[in-house]
Every structure is written in structure tokens, then in C-alpha cells.
């Protein structure tokens, strides 16, 4: 506030304008014009007869100086020793137990701020208020009052009251001699308003960019925060419209006390208009300038836009390869045909540790506990070629895998993935051993870069020994050999990846497969799902989800058990165990199916960093190729949410409606992120 106020000045009348430093009459001319002095003035005066000088202007004192006493004889007596002096301390009021004087207490009264809405802001900054009504002595209270007088004037001027004055008074409270009443009185005066608003400096292309960015209007009060925000907006908007190096000078506000109008002038130097040239990079590099160009969303010749430079820097931060990284424009001296200048983007890299160890854990009824640990080198094969080794140890699954992933492969936000994994699964529906090799090219959403359109395509081959009863035997003759293609497309208009509160999502998957088991079978697995989110106020969200699946071209019993549809569990129909829904055999073991349907509706209420949910899930699996929507099963439950920086942690407890034999009364699910 003080720098802003110091730059506003008041207009002065002409008769008060100070003159320069040059003398009106030179010294030499002035001395020549003086008349000569009368010689009698320097003649010595004659003595006055009969007046004798006093030989002793001061009377003698006793001792070596003189013999005559000086006034009262007691003055010549020696002083008594300090040991016999009777000293009486002054009364400073009550003394507390620790021997320190009791503090002086005071109350603060503020007057004159009615209609300004500044009293609360003043009290939050006040030195008197900050001391909670206590001081050691009156001098300390007076010093605080003077400081608050200055604060009051500064606050008022920041809101346009440039004629404001403030005064303070300290009054005693008669019934309590150690209590005071401090009164701060403000006189705001008239509020000053903006008059003419002018930008000084070279014009932009197109004209008026600086004035358009300076969001000030004539007639508005001269409020410091609004003026400073408008000036900051000039420095923000010009780099978004082709001017990388704008500068603004000191504002000038000429106040007229007669009209309470302030004419505002801001010097703006936009600098050269520029276009993107190329890239250079320096420092401890994680990858070269060519890959920097892959991450950029602009090309050579595009008009300079600071937002695209910021986007480039954020994309580099998202790679998690840097301790620090910056991107800034540098003039090249090269001029384009239209007179604009080319700028290179200088990227300064400071590569950080590329190795990491991570883990995650979860629990759900039906699957039990699941713990995953992994080691990864995110840049073993530059640029952004990551190698990851992972292991899963769980109640129902044990698995090891090795994965190669190339991020931003030949194009921003495109990923190449190759993974080899092997393990065994022990579910209620089947037990088996599986080895799988697959590759994907995908465009994915992340918590940092959530995308509207996503896709994935690729291929996989796998070999699996599976048994629906007892343990599977490792045997090539009994194994299923499956090869297939992977296709997926998603459309996301929600406002968050892990905790959406509005919008919707759609996803479709198509997987043509060929199975070599009991003969050769070719079939297509299809799945579509969608979810929607609607807020009621700021605290409550109603969410819904639907999912449908179908397998075309093969009988259910010819499918490997792991390739069938199942339902039930934390990511499916809560209230039921994992893979618990659907047809069962004579031993009450789930058979799986060729089609499924699932529905869910959930109410989410959030208060601070905590939340509560209530939900109803429904679904069923069918032997038929398409869902028949018969025998739909329902589960109901409640849940709790803990909201963190990386997403909500959820705990859901559910129970099935019309529970059947073998189904759990209560199912519990713990994971990161909302259920859908």
C-alpha cells in the first residue's frame, strides 16, 4: 500500500509552484549597491566616569577557592554516606507474584470508519489489537497508537481516501487507575475516483492490447488492489499475444482535490513482437532439445504465447525426471517477413534421481489383501524410456512382471508399452497359472493431465492353465493359448480423474481373440460403460454408473474361465464378494458368463477433508450372449472418505439384499479413489 500511495500526487496552484535555485540579484551587484558605513561606528567608546569594575564577580567559597560562605551554610557541609540514606521507592501500582509490575490493560475503540468496511481489516493488522489489550507502560501504548494512526491512513488511501487523517487519544478509566481507553479516530474525507486513463508508450499490433488488458474504468474508486491487479494483468496478457518482453513503468496519478478525480497514466513498453523459433537446452540434461520439441504444443513460426511455454515446462515437470526445470524466451536476432522477431525457447534442465521404489496395498472381501512393490528406472533408455520390475503378493494373486514404457513416444501424450508377466491366481471361480506378453500404444489421462479423448490399441498373447475345481496342473496339452487384439476409446468430460464432482465419462472396449484349446475358437469381447456426476451445492454430489458386456462367437464353456465375465466386488457390485454374482454349478462355484449388466448410484457428502457416502449397487452375469436383465441383485452400503492431495482414500461397507446361501453378510472395501 505504501509504494502505491507514494506514487499518487496532488495538483498544486500556480502561485505555490516553487522557484528555481538561481539568485534574483548576484552577490557582487548586491554589495555594490550597499551604502558605505559611517567611520564613527568603529570608534572605541569612551569610559563612563564613576563606574568602578567589580574585582570579584563571584563570592569566594570555602576551602582552597575562597573563605566566604556560598548562600546557606548547610551547603558547605559534607554529604551523608549512601549507607544511611533513606530511599523510598515510587508507587508504581500492584506487583505480581514474580516481582514484575502488573501490566497496564487497555481497550481499543475505533471511530470514523463507518461505511468503509475497513475496521475488520484494520484490527487484523493493528499493533494495539495484536497485543491483546496489555502493555508494560503508557509509553508503549502511545507508540502503538502512533503506529496505528499511520496504518489507518495507509488503509484509507489504499481504498481511495487520499485526504484521510487519523488521530489517537489515551484516556484513563476512573474506577481502575491501571486501565486505559485508547480511541483512534479517522476522518476519511472524500473518495477519489479515476478520471482519464492513459497508456504511454509504443503501440501494439493490433492496437490497444495494453489498454484492453488494463481493466480499469473511469469513475471507479482508485483502489490500490484493483490498480495493481490491472497492471499485473498487462504483464500477463501481452506475453500471451506475441510480446515476450513487456515492461511497465511507474504509474502516475494526478489528484485534483477540488473534484476528487485522479488522472491515471501508465508507461508501457511492449518490446518486440515475436514468433517461436526453435529450442535450445542446457544444464544437467535428462533428454535433448529434439525431445523438448516433441513435448511442445507449438511450431516454428507460431505467434509467441506464454501459455504454451508454461505448458511445455509443466509437461517436463510431469515426466518426474527433474529436480528443477525452466523455459524462457531468448531473442535470436532473426526477423520474419512480417517484421516480427524469432525467439528460441531456452530450457534449463537439472535432472533428478530417475530410480524409485514404490508400493501399494489394499483389501477387499473376496480378494483379501493385496500388496504390490516395484523398482523403476524412469529414464534408463532416453528419452523417457522406463524399465520397471514389479511383484504382487496377495491372498488371491501372486505375480511378477517386467515392463518397458516409452512416454511421449514420437508424439506428446502417446505411450508405448511392452510387458511380460507371469503368476498364479486363486479365485473362487477358478485357479490357474498364466504367462502373458502384450504391447499397447495409448493416450492416457493422468491426475496432472486429464484428457477428453483417450485411446489404446495393441495385441496380446498368453498361455494359461486353469481349473475350476482344485488346483490347475502346469501342462502344455491342457493349456489355453490365446492371441488377440486390444482396442479402447474413452471420452471424459468430468472435472477430476480421482474425485469427479460434475460431468460424465464414456468408455468402449473391443477385444477380438482367438483361442487354441479344445479346438480353435474366434470370438469378440465387448464392454461399454458410462458414469455421470451432478453436484447439489458445494458439498453434495450424486453419481451414477452403468456397465454392459457381451462376448460374441463362442459358447461359455469353451471360453477359458479367466476370459469370461464376472461381477461382484469393490469395482463392480458392492455387497458381494469378488466374482460372486452369476450362474453357479452344483458345487456352488461361480461359472462366469458371456454377458453382464451393472448399475450403481451413490450420494457423496463432503465436509472439509472428510466425507460420507451412501450407495446402492445392482448387477448380474448371464450365460447368454446379451444381458437379459433378469434376476438383478442389489447391494446397499455406506462409506467414509479421507480427502488427500493425491485423491480420496475410501472405505466402503456393504451388504447384499435378499442374501443367499454362501454370501457374506458384510463386505468391506478399501482403496484409493472413488468407486467410479
Q: Each residue of 325-380: pLDDT tens digit?
A: 999 999 999 999 999 999 999 999 999 999 999 888 877 766 778 899 999 999 99
Position 10 confidence tier, pLDDT thresholds 50, 70, 90: low
Per-residue pLDDT band for 670 (boundaries 50, 70, 90) equals: confident
Note the pLDDT of residue 365: 65
Residue 102: per-residue pLDDT: 77
What average pLDDT does range 481-508 have in this prediction?
Answer: 94
Q: Which CATH class is domain 274-351?
A: alpha beta
Output DSSP code: residue 430. -
Q: How far apart are CA 236 and CA 210, in angstroms?
A: 10
200-258 pLDDT tens trace: 999 999 999 999 999 999 999 999 999 999 999 999 999 999 999 999 999 999 999 99
pLDDT of 68 above 50: no
pLDDT at 551 > cutoff 80 = yes
The Cα 384–Cα 320 span in angstroms is 10
116-141 confidence digits (pLDDT tens): 889 999 999 999 999 988 888 889 99
pLDDT-derived band at 526, boundaries 50, 70, 90: very high
- Residue 103: per-residue pLDDT: 83
Looking at per-residue pLDDT, the higher value among 238 and 61 belongs to 238
| pLDDT reported for residue 95 | 53
The stretch 99-106 carries a mean pLDDT of 78
User: Is CATH 3.40.50.2300 the classification given to domain 193-269?
Assistant: no
Taking the C-alpha atoms of residue 621 and residue 591, their distance in angstroms, rounded to an integer, is: 10
Report residue 372: phi and psi, to 5°.
-125, 135
Q: Which helix (H) or strand (E) holds 351?
A: strand 341-351
pLDDT of amino acid 14: 46
Contact between 503 and 493 under an 8 Å Cβ cutoff? The reply is yes
Residue 372: other Cβ atoms inside 10 A: 17
At residue 58 the predicted structure's pLDDT band, cuts being 50, 70 and 90, is: very low
| Residue 427, pLDDT score | 86
Res 262: pLDDT:
95
Distance in angstroms (rounded) separating the CA atoms of residues 4 and 225: 9
Nearest by Cα to 149 from 172, 176, 183: 183
CA distance 137 to 160: 36
Angle between helices 138-158 and 224-237 (to 10 degrees): 50
Residue 185: pLDDT over 70 = yes
Question: Alpha helix locations (H) across 319-349?
Answer: none
CATH of region 355-672: 2.40.160.50
Alpha helices by DSSP H, 299-429: 306-318
Domain 104-187 annotated CATH 1.20.120.1760: no
Average pLDDT over residues 67-95: 47
pLDDT in tens, 151-166: 999 999 999 999 999 9
The answer to whether residues 93 and 177 touch, using CB atoms and an 8 Å cutoff, is yes
Domain residue extents for the chain: 104-187, 193-269, 274-351, 355-672
Q: What is the mean pLDDT of the chain?
A: 86
Q: CA-to-CA distance for 170 and 155, rounded, in angstroms?
A: 22
Q: Is the peptide bond before 231 cis (omega within 30 degrees of 0)?
A: no
Alpha-carbon span 238 to 246, nearest angstrom: 7
Q: Is the pLDDT of residue 15 over 60?
A: no
Q: Which of 354, 184, 200 is nearest to 268 (CA)?
A: 200
Model confidence band, residue 172 (pLDDT cutoffs 50, 70, 90): confident
The three cell numbers locating residue 488: 479402447
Same fold, 104-187 and 355-672: no
Q: Is 63 left (phi over 0), alpha (psi -120 to 50) or beta?
A: left
User: Other C-beta atoms within 10 Å of 534: how many?
Assistant: 13
Answer whether residue 67 shows pLDDT above 60. no
Range in 16-30, 35-49, 389-403 with the lowest mean pLDDT: 16-30
Which run of H or of E encompasses 147?
helix 138-158
Amino acid at each position: 500500500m505504501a509504494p502505491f500511495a507514494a506514487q499518487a500526487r496532488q495538483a498544486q496552484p500556480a502561485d505555490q509552484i516553487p522557484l528555481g535555485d538561481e539568485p534574483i540579484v548576484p552577490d557582487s551587484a548586491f554589495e555594490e549597491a550597499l551604502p558605505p558605513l559611517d567611520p564613527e561606528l568603529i570608534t572605541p567608546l569612551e569610559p563612563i566616569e564613576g563606574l568602578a569594575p567589580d574585582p570579584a564577580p563571584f563570592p569566594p567559597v570555602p576551602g582552597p577557592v575562597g573563605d566566604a560562605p556560598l548562600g546557606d551554610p548547610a551547603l558547605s557541609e559534607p554529604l551523608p554516606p549512601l549507607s544511611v540514606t533513606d530511599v523510598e521507592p515510587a508507587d508504581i501500582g500492584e506487583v505480581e507474584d514474580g516481582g514484575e509490575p502488573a501490566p497496564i490493560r487497555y481497550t481499543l475503540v475505533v471511530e470514523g470508519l463507518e461505511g468503509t468496511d475497513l475496521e475488520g481489516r484494520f484490527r487484523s493488522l493493528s499493533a494495539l489489537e495484536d497485543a491483546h489489550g496489555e502493555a508494560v507502560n503508557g509509553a508503549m501504548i502511545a507508540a502503538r497508537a502512533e503506529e496505528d494512526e499511520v496504518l489507518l491512513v495507509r488503509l484509507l488511501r489504499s481504498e481511495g481516501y487520499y485526504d484521510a487523517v487519523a488521530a489517537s487519544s489515551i484516556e484513563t478509566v476512573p474506577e481502575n487507575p491501571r486501565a486505559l481507553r485508547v480511541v483512534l479516530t479517522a476522518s476519511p474525507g472524500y473518495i477519489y475516483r479515476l478520471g482519464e486513463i492513459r497508456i504511454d508508450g509504443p503501440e501494439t499490433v493490433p492496437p490497444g492490447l495494453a489498454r484492453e488488458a488494463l481493466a480499469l474504468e473511469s469513475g471507479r474508486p482508485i483502489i490500490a488492489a484493483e490498480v495493481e491487479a490491472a497492471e499485473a494483468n498487462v504483464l500477463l496478457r501481452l506475453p500471451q499475444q506475441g510480446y515476450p518482453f513487456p515492461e511497465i513503468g511507474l504509474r502516475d496519478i494526478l489528484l485534483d482535490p477540488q473534484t476528487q478525480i485522479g488522472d491515471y497514466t501508465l508507461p508501457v513498453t511492449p518490446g518486440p513482437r515475436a514468433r517461436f523459433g526453435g529450442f535450445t537446452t542446457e544444464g544437467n540434461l535428462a533428454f535433448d532439445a529434439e525431445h523438448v520439441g516433441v513435448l511442445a504444443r507449438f511450431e516454428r513460426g507460431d505467434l509467441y504465447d506464454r501459455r504454451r511455454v508454461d505448458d511445455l515446462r509443466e509437461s517436463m515437470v510431469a515426466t518426474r525426471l527433474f529436480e528443477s526445470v525452466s523455459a524462457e524466451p531468448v531473442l535470436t536476432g532473426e526477423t520474419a517477413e512480417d517484421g516480427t522477431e524469432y525467439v528460441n525457447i531456452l530450457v534449463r534442465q537439472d535432472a533428478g534421481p530417475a530410480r524409485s521404489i514404490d508400493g501399494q496395498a489394499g483389501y477387499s472381501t473376496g480378494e483379501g489383501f493385496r500388496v504390490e512393490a516395484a523398482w523403476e528406472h524412469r529414464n534408463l533408455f532416453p528419452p523417457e524410456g522406463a524399465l520397471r520390475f514389479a511383484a504382487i503378493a496377495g491372498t488371491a494373486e501372486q505375480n511378477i512382471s517386467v515392463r518397458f514404457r516409452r512416454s511421449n513416444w514420437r508424439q506428446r501424450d502417446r505411450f508405448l508399452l511392452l510387458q511380460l508377466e507371469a503368476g498364479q491366481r486363486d479365485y473362487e471361480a477358478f485357479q490357474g497359472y498364466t504367462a502373458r506378453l502384450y504391447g499397447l500404444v495409448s493416450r492416457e489421462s493422468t491426475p496432472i493431465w486429464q484428457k477428453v479423448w483417450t485411446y489404446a490399441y495393441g495385441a496380446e498373447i498368453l498361455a494359461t492353465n486353469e481349473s475350476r475345481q482344485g488346483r490347475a496342473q502346469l501342462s502344455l496339452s491342457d493349456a489355453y493359448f490365446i492371441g488377440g487384439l486390444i482396442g479402447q476409446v474413452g471420452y471424459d468430460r468430468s472435472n477430476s480423474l480421482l474425485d469427479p464432482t460434475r460431468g460424465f465419462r464414456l468408455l468402449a472396449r473391443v477385444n477380438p481373440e482367438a483361442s487354441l484349446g479344445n479346438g480353435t475358437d474366434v470370438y469378440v469381447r465387448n464392454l461399454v460403460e458410462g458414469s455421470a456426476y451432478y453436484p447439489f451445492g458445494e458439498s453434495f454430489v450424486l453419481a451414477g454408473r452403468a456397465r454392459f458386456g457381451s462376448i460374441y462367437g463362442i459358447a461359455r464353456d469353451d471360453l477359458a474361465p479367466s476370459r469370461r465375465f464376472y461381477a461382484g466386488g469393490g469395482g463392480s457390485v458392492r455387497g458381494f464378494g469378488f466374482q460372486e454374482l452369476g450362474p453357479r454349478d452344483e458345487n456352488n462355484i461361480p461359472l462366469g458368463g458371456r454377458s453382464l449388466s451393472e448399475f450403481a448410484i451413490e450420494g457423496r457428502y463432503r465436509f472439509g477433508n472428510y466425507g460420507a457416502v451412501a450407495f446402492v449397487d445392482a448387477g448380474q452375469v448371464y450365460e447368454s450372449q446379451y444381458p437379459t436383465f433378469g434376476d438383478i441383485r442389489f447391494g446397499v452400503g455406506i462409506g467414509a472418505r479421507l480427502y488427500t492431495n493425491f485423491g480420496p482414500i475410501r472405505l466402503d461397507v456393504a451388504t447384499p439384499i435378499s442374501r443367499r446361501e454362501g454370501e457374506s453378510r458384510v463386505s468391506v472395501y478399501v482403496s484409493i479413489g472413488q468407486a467410479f
